[in-house]
Amino acid sequence: AQKVTQAQTEISVVEKEDVTLDCVYETRDTTYYLFWYKQPPSGELVFLIRRNSFDEQNEISGRYSWNFQKSTSSFNFTITASQVVDSAVYFCALSDRGSTLGRLYFGRGTQLTVWP
Amino acid sequence: NAGVTQTPKFQVLKTGQSMTLQCAQDMNHNSMYWYRQDPGMGLRLIYYSASEGTTDKGEVPNGYNVSRLNKREFSLRLESAAPSQTSVYFCASQYNDQPQHFGDGTRLSIL
């Protein structure tokens, strides 16, 4: 069975601090995708990144970076020099590549609050 | 290019009433999905449709029906609404194995 665990329910930081959001996943598939989505207070879901299970190379995009480690089944997300606009709920998700192509399994989300 | 459009954005129902949530995408995507989001639960899949004319149950299908009448539209119907179905509903569409595109959600309250 597929499962995504985001153990951090809420995180509060002060602006300019770095913050890491944890994500641990379970799957029996050897081929899968991992995702991060952002849900700002306005409620829409914003796609941030997708990672293929065969590509463990870390990725950086501006202040965002992602650390994918298959050995620990983790896909952590770091925001460097956080800003108030980063305040949102962040979801980690897993997509299997079996018969239900594209089906997403979400973690419960981490509420990030960045204080000025 | 509107992407994924959900209607209505908000709705209040009484227990036992029926309701259809509409979802349309203009990206010619083959797969479409309905999720519900409850506080502290993340998003859970209700139903999905891999192609026009086909639908399959997801994780939480009880109390819902869906229709994929054409490639653009995928509707979700509550035949007899219950308070437990109070939630935010998201529709998504996808082309092959590309990332899913989500609509802005429908906030549904059942009294």
Mean pLDDT for B31-51 is 93
What does the pLDDT read at residue A63? 94
The contact set of A with B (CB < 8 A) is 4, 9, 33, 35, 43-45, 47, 50, 91, 93, 95, 97, 100-109
Identify all chain B residues contacting A47, using CB atoms and an 8 Å cutoff: 99-102
A16-48 tens-digit pLDDT? 999 999 999 999 888 889 999 999 999 999 999
Mean pLDDT for B6-24 is 96
Quote the minimal CA–CA distance from A15 to chain B in Å.
Answer: 25
Identify all chain B residues contacting A33, using CB atoms and an 8 Å cutoff: 97
Q: Is 50 exceeded by the pLDDT of residue B109?
A: yes
Q: Greater confidence, B32 or B41?
A: B32
Quote the minimal CA–CA distance from B82 to chain A in Å.
Answer: 23
What does the pLDDT read at residue A99? 47
Kindly state the percentage of chain B with pLDDT values over 70: 99
A41-95 tens-digit pLDDT? 999 999 999 988 888 888 888 999 999 999 999 999 999 999 999 999 999 999 8
Q: Is 80 exceeded by the pLDDT of residue B97?
A: no
**Test the A interface: residue of B6, B43, B87 with most A CBs within 10 Å:** B43
DSSP B69-92: -SSSB-EEEESS--GGG-EEEEEE
What does the pLDDT read at residue A111? 96
User: Considering CB atoms only, which of A43, A50, A103 is closest to B48?
Assistant: A103
Residue B48 near chain A (CB below 8 Å): yes
Q: Is 90 exceeded by the pLDDT of residue B2?
A: no
Quote the minimal CA–CA distance from A91 to chain B in Å.
Answer: 7
Mean pLDDT for B83-88 is 97
What does the pLDDT read at residue A97? 66
B63 band by pLDDT with thresholds 50, 70 and 90: very high
Long-range contacts of A65-69 (CB under 8 A, 24+ apart): A66/A36, A68/A34
